[in-house]
Structure 1
Amino acid sequence: MTLPANLTGSSTPHPPVSPVVLSAFWFGTAFHWLVLLLIVMPKDVVKFVGEGQKGTYLGLLTAIGAIMALVLPPLVGAHSDRTGKRIPYIRLGLAVNLVGLVVMALAASALAGMSGFWVYVLGFLLVQFGNNYATAPYSALIPQLVPVEQRGRYSGVMAMLQAGGQLLGAVAALLLGLLHLPGWAIYALVALVLLLPALVTMQGVPAQTDRLRGQAHAPQMSVAQLFAYQPFLWVFLTRVLFALGQYSVQPFLQYYNKDVMRQGDPANATSIMLACIIVGSIASALIGGRISDRVGRKPVIYVAGGLMAAVALMLLFAPNFPVALALALVFGLGFGAFTSVDWALGSDAMPSESSYARDMGIWHVAFVAPQFVGAPQGRLLDWGNAQSPNLGYTLVFGIAAVFFVLGVILVRNVPERVHRQP
């Protein structure tokens, strides 16, 4: 297959930016999504719709947001490739994201019932629009600036910063819950932690990144050709499966801690559980990326996926909350190792340097589209629990384990050490 020319007409240069600066935006984004999706939104949804329909409406909200995240990154990425610019897209997306957080905070603080819920949905759509508008051009920076032989290390640093942002989010949510601060305070904190690391990345990325020759007239692979390129196809499919496993369980952890673990304060219990997951993730993230540079990406994913599948099943049989926390720590070890390799594997599979942002945006869809599983899984959760106590959790967690196992099986088809043609 003949591939288009790259952006610069030469091989990728040595990266002029440190991995910490390049990955800083993911720190703020990880904090932002953890606090919103796992702490704030489950609590707000119960306020709007009540206990009986919490799973259904939380799943619906997640699916509505996923529509935006599904469509926008490839379109914005393609436009970014044509203009040859990255930072202006990040800047505008960040601004819209912050406006959406304000709308969500106002709805949660001042409104109730279904009318308040739909205002809340509007704010969430603005958040999704802004964050995804920034994500596709930002995602192109790693394959654009980092050589193949260093991507495991950079991906590991990104995974560590992502886990660090999540850990800070879990701790902050726990502290804010104990202090009983007003709801707007946590939204303000989310906005601040999103903004500051984004400024670090935008200031630290070299100015010449936005002076690359645009690709408005350059030949590009069609989307059909992109998926016909086997390395990209298999990386895309395996990422879909791992994301399906994650989103089958993640939105409902707070409800699991309330209904199965019988925790009196499920929001704080979820924060503690997430902290255990993230500590495990940090422990395995950097070492996983470095190991993948030496032995390949797939062996790391085999181990990581196996751990995550096992824990998803074992949580169903946890006799008490401390055991569930220990299992969460083990899950974190697998998740951190997987995340440390994820960006390196995806970057390796990009077929052309002339369409990095578009192709990374399409690859990002593999992580975003599975958020739609929240709607049917939420409905399945409510249906199963209505049939028998906690049956819904057995069904949802069991399906998650199946997805993880399938991801491990299919990743065998991903070629190692993909080298792009010029």
Structure 2
Amino acid sequence: MFIAGASQMSGPWAGYVSDRTRSAYGRRRPVLVKGAVVAAPSLVMLLVARTYYGSLGGWAPTLYYVAFTATMLALNVMYTAASGIVPDMIPDDQTGQSNGVLAAMSAAGACMGFVYTMVYPDVGSLYWFYLALLATCVPITCYCATEESSLGGVASSDDVESSAREGSTSATVDSAFSWRELASMYTISPFVPEQKSFFWLFVCRTLYYTGISAQVFLLYLLRDTAVKEDGSGLEGHEPQQTVARLSFIGQVGGMIAAYPAGLLSDVFGRKPLIVIACAGIISVYIMFMYIHRLTSIMYIGVYYGALNGMFLSVDYALAIDCLPSRENAARWLAVWGVASFIGTSIGPTVFALILHFSPQPADGRAYGSSQEGYDVMLVVGAVWMALCASFLCLVDSKKPRAREL
């Protein structure tokens, strides 16, 4: 988990390189392909380390850590480059709509992962699944994203052939590359006029992910407080199975809500929908304090997923609206992405301390927390959500231009 989180710090560097890539194929696709070239063999190394754990002896964990680090860095570089495609190619008045599609596809991908895991529970098969996704999705993305050549003009076949004769098809980084400037890619200031709105949006995103990270403890909340139709609590593997079902239906809810939310944000603006999402999450936390019947919790899961899908769709669109520089879009979106890492690091730490010092369950169990402990956790999560909505007033979004439904 530490490696996965720390790898996100490579985002601003990857964005800096992508923004300055000069190629007949554009700025994003060369970085995307190079990331895939690293990710594919790294996934194979992960599979080898897991499959031949016994025969590799003490080298297996080391191989796994090295391969996992390379995989996460490569995937993060690919994600950073791909995130720059949207502001590069999508008109301002369709930003919300396009990000609605993006959020819906992310939720659909998560649902597909859940289904695959249920059908093929062997974890080892997932590596082949990832490799197949990589081999399928990268070519499709590169084919569909007809970027303008960063050498000048659209990267048509004639441009590529001409560049090949001149020996310039390989992607190169602009000669203006500066280590001092690269170091500045990791900073964002509320005192620089063009960065002010983006800074406060970064704060809002951090607060949202700090509050939403209460879901990390959902398994324990259900184990200790949920009741079945017959009035009994969850036993054995039932909490895990319940969380799996909730995760699936939550993703379905997010998939359904993401596109309409993005579309509506193009008409009514981004901030109202984000406030609605935050208020809705607060209502979910209040419901978790008082509703313990398992059937009702499943309905809450759909509602919760829809709200999260709404936020993910509109928050990304608002980030694009507030970019300090469209020319350096990948760099700024990478900085914006780090906010989720900060939030999901702070939130679980605080929530864990709350539950650790909460009273023991009233039924005499030697493990778990009381309802009062979970109530405090949910209230703190709701406060962070309220702060997220409140700080939006400091975000000045001049886009999108309103358009008819």
What band does the TM-score fall into relative to the shorter chain? 0.7 to 0.9
Cα distance, 1:272–1:114 mapped onto 2, change above 3 Å: farther
Of all paired residues, the percent bearing the same amino acid is 24
Confirm or deny: 8 A CA contact 2:188 2:199 kept in the other structure.
no
Q: Which residue of 2 aligns with 1:93?
A: 35
Q: Which runs of structure 2 are paired with 1:243-322 in the superposition (5 Å)?
A: 243-249=209-215, 251-258=216-223, 260-261=225-226, 262=234, 264-322=237-295
> Which of these residues, 57, 71, 82, is aligned with residue 127 of structure 1?
71
Cα distance, 1:116–1:215 mapped onto 2, change above 3 Å: closer
Q: Which residue of 2 aligns with 1:405?
A: 386
Q: Which residue of 1 aligns with 2:299?
A: 326
Matched to 1:352, the amino acid is: S
Measured in 2, the distance between the counterparts of 1:200 and 1:370 equals 33
Confirm or deny: 8 A CA contact 1:87 1:210 kept in the other structure.
no
Cα distance, 1:387–1:193 mapped onto 2, change above 3 Å: farther
> Which of these residues, 136, 143, 153, is aligned with residue 203 of structure 1?
143
> Which of these residues, 76, 84, 92, is aligned with residue 14 of structure 2?
76
Confirm or deny: 8 A CA contact 1:160 1:285 kept in the other structure.
yes
> Which of these residues, 340, 343, 355, is aligned with residue 367 of structure 1?
340
Task: Flag the structure with higher helix content.
Answer: 1
Ranges of 4+ aligned residues in structure 1 off by more than 6 Å: 112-118, 218-221
Q: Which residue of 1 aligns with 2:92?
A: 148
Q: Which residue of 2 aligns with 1:67?
A: 6
Measured in 2, the distance between the counterparts of 1:100 and 1:245 equals 33
Measured in 2, the distance between the counterparts of 1:121 and 1:260 equals 37
Q: Which residue of 2 aligns with 1:230?
A: 196
Residue 321 of structure 1 and its aligned partner are, at CA, apart by 2.6
Q: Which runs of structure 2 are paired with 1:100-111 in the superposition (5 Å)?
A: 100-106=42-48, 111=53
Measured in 2, the distance between the counterparts of 1:130 and 1:233 equals 26
Residue 166 of structure 1 and its aligned partner are, at CA, apart by 1.6
Measured in 2, the distance between the counterparts of 1:360 and 1:297 equals 17
Q: Which residue of 2 aligns with 1:23?
A: none
Matched to 1:148, the amino acid is: D
Residue 110 of structure 1 and its aligned partner are, at CA, apart by 5.7
Matched to 1:241, the amino acid is: L
Measured in 2, the distance between the counterparts of 1:348 and 1:354 equals 13
Measured in 1, the distance between the counterparts of 2:330 and 2:99 equals 17
Deviations, residues 43-88 of structure 1 (Å, cap 9, x unaligned): xxxxxxxxxxxxxxxxxx2x4421111x201011111222242112
Residue 129 of structure 1 and its aligned partner are, at CA, apart by 0.8
Deviations, residues 326-374 of structure 1 (Å, cap 9, x unaligned): 1111111211111221221010111222212211211221223323236
Q: Which runs of structure 2 are paired with 1:8-47 in the superposition (5 Å)?
A: none
Confirm or deny: 8 A CA contact 2:250 2:301 kept in the other structure.
yes
Confirm or deny: 8 A CA contact 1:215 1:354 kept in the other structure.
no
Cα distance, 1:313–1:196 mapped onto 2, change above 3 Å: farther
Measured in 1, the distance between the counterparts of 2:140 and 2:356 equals 46
Matched to 1:326, the amino acid is: Y
Q: Which residue of 2 aligns with 1:18?
A: none
Greater relative contact order (CA < 8 Å, ≥ 6 in sequence):
1
Measured in 2, the distance between the counterparts of 1:255 and 1:105 equals 31
Cα distance, 1:211–1:255 mapped onto 2, change above 3 Å: farther
Residue 318 of structure 1 and its aligned partner are, at CA, apart by 3.6
Cα distance, 1:128–1:397 mapped onto 2, change above 3 Å: farther
Matched to 1:89, the amino acid is: V
Residue 375 of structure 1 and its aligned partner are, at CA, apart by 6.0
Q: Which residue of 2 aligns with 1:57?
A: none
> Which of these residues, 165, 168, 188, is aligned with residue 128 of structure 2?
188
Confirm or deny: 8 A CA contact 2:225 2:292 kept in the other structure.
no
Cα distance, 1:191–1:248 mapped onto 2, change above 3 Å: farther
Cα distance, 1:198–1:248 mapped onto 2, change above 3 Å: farther
Residue 118 of structure 1 and its aligned partner are, at CA, apart by 6.7
Measured in 1, the distance between the counterparts of 2:332 and 2:28 equals 14
> Which of these residues, 349, 353, 373, is aligned with residue 380 of structure 1?
353
Confirm or deny: 8 A CA contact 1:174 1:268 kept in the other structure.
no
SS at match of 1:353: coil
Cα distance, 1:189–1:268 mapped onto 2, change above 3 Å: farther
Q: Which runs of structure 2 are paired with 1:158-173 in the superposition (5 Å)?
A: 158-173=102-117
Unaligned runs of at least 5 residues, structure 2: 154-172, 227-233, 362-367, 401-405
Confirm or deny: 8 A CA contact 1:152 1:344 kept in the other structure.
yes
Matched to 1:412, the amino acid is: C
Matched to 1:409, the amino acid is: S
Point out the structure with max Rg over C-alpha: 2
Unaligned runs of at least 5 residues, structure 1: 1-60
